[in-house]
Amino acid sequence: MKRYLGFIGRYKKEAILGPLFKMLEALFELFIPLVVADIIDIGIKNGDKSYIFARCGLMVALGLIGLVCSITAQYFSAKAAVGVATDLRRALFAHIGGLSHKNTDKFGTATLLSRTTTDVNQVQTATNMVLRLFLRSPFIVFGAMIMAFTVSPAAALTFVVTIPALSVVVFGVMLISIPMFRRVQARLDRVLGRTRENLSGARVVRAFVHEEESIREFTADNSELTRLQRFTGRFSALLNPVTYVIINLSVLVIIWRGGAQVELGNLTQGEVVALYNYMTQILVELIKMANFIILITKACAAGARINAIFDTETGLPTKAGFKATETAPAVEFQNVTLSYHENADTVLEGISFTARAGETIGIIGGTGSGKSSLVSLIPRFYDVTDGAVLLDGRDVRSYADTKELRAKVGFVPQKAELFAGTIRDNLRFGNQNATDEDCREALAAAQALSFVEEKEGGLDFCLEQSARNLSGGQKQRLTIARALVRRPEILILDDSASALDYATDAALRAALAALPYRPTTFIVSQRTASIRHADRIVVLEDGKAVGIGTHEELLSSCDIYREIHQSQFGSEEEANA
């Protein structure tokens, strides 16, 4: 709540003027029944047309003034609500951008996206409704009851009984319905998940002839959703008939008692109509209040989900580290152990090796052996559980600002990620100050210049979302070029040439070896051909380094490396042929 008040506090003027104008609208609305009573009791009774027209003009004037007040209130409420949502979404997006990979993995991309959009929209709608109804509806309910007492204290006693009865029905139905709606939403999420899964995996479903099974599963989930919705809808549908029964009974009592009072001369026909109008106003506002509270309940749940993100600390804790020395290796792993979460299985265990400036380190191993996890420790995407990773003799955890650390690293992820925009814009992700010549040099080294120049516009060629208009190999080469644009001290290629043919892969490795600034390069690959010329190769198996050495040394000393190599090339004689 404090966080929300901080956002709404930026729109104090709108947050005050919105409810104020809504109160004015409600005030003018409360006078309408009295004007109607005067028209009946004086104008119609006496046949005074001029009085009738004058009072009708007054009623129209009250309506127009109320309309102006309502539009003004809507404007200020909407401005405050949209402003709060804008600021909240901006702050949330910035906070998510500062989360560590560990926390991002914990929440999941889909959840973060949902909380940034759907949950913020819920808060926006609730803010708008709070500013419009929070004061207006109670004011109308109690104001109508007070006005009824000014008309006839005896007849208004009906209101004292009716309002609590209506409140019990309206809020009782609401409180019982809220958990039902939550179950419906959970079942709807399941149906949407089933739909998304089947649509994204449509080719697999068809390839294995599982269409009928998928239809049966979807039908079962959809039928359960329909059953819950029907039950919830039927229960919620009780609200209108029960409230209208109570209101009509109250109206009958008012008319019955009012008629008796009219006969005795204690009430007029116009006053009875006024009492009826006040009863109708109360009914409308109570139903609004019920829907308003349901909306607030949903918004509170959304706010709790948003707060869970804000309450997660950004960044990573710093640690006193070593000062850089000229003799220290560029990268050093000191008995590194890694677990992604507490009490989780160990991903890496006891890894130790060094990489001198300008050296090339190859990393190979089976699927799930920890290759990507190992290189992710260098730019500090994750923190080691035990041991240390040093850059130039300095613990990566000693960097108070990870930007300083990551500015030294050019990272090419396993999955090629590009953004909608021009090729130039994507390359400048690596270096905002890069010139077109810098971009072309990086493209040439990444073996991408030839196909970029063939595209219409060259560097100005527009990529679609996720670069759908490029092939897999083209996307990989552009991501490599993006990393090279920044001229990094450390270059990490996390299996980023898997879509390249052997000739292009060989040309890429030759170009990287010829780079004038000689970065320390880490190459993660499934191919021994991609790393056989590395200065050292680290072989991983189940998170442990089972071999470290050159290609020739590992062929003779490491059974796992020899098996991988022979599975790709056969015997060593065939590999060298």
Q: Are 429 and 442 in contact (CB under 8 A)?
A: no
- Cα–Cα dist 406/408, whole Å: 5
Domains of the chain: 2-190+227-310 (1.20.1560.10), 319-404+524-577 (3.40.50.300)
Residues of the chain with pLDDT under 50: 321, 572-577
In tens, the pLDDT along 310-343 reads 888 776 666 654 555 557 888 999 999 998 877 7
- Cα–Cα dist 390/567, whole Å: 35
- Region of 512 please: left (phi>0), alpha (psi -120 to 50) or beta: alpha
Q: Tokens in use for 254?
A: 């008012």
Q: Which letter, b or e, does each residue of 99-125 get, where b requires 16 or more Cβ atoms within 10 Å of its Cβ?
A: bbeebeeebeeeebebbbeebbebbbb
Number of neighbours of residue 465 by Cβ within 10 angstroms: 10
Q: Is the dihedral of CA 211, 217, 220, 223 positive or negative?
A: negative
What does residue 545 show for φ and ψ, rounded to 5 degrees? -85, 105
- Cα–Cα dist 516/484, whole Å: 12
Burial of 338 by CB count in 10 Å (0-12 exposed, 13-18 middle, 19+ buried)? Answer: buried
- Cα–Cα dist 12/131, whole Å: 11
Q: Tokens in use for 146?
A: 């007070």
Beta strands in 359-514 (DSSP E): 360-365, 386-391, 394-395, 409-412, 421-422, 462-463, 490-494
Length of the chain: 577
SS3 of 68-136: the string is: HHHHHHHHHHHHHHHHHHHHHHHHHHHHHHCCCHHHHHHHCHHHHHHHHHHHHHHHHHHHHHHHHHCCH
Rounding to the nearest 10 degrees, give the CA dihedral for residues 11, 17, 23, 25: -120
Q: Taking Cα atoms as reference points, which of 73, 191, 69 lies closest to residue 132?
A: 73
- Cα–Cα dist 152/261, whole Å: 10
pLDDT at residue 577, rounded to an integer: 41
- DSSP labels, 206-256: HHTT-HHHHHHHHHHHHHHHHHHHHHHHHHHTTHHHHHHHHHHHHHHHHHH
Token pair 């009085």 is found at: 51
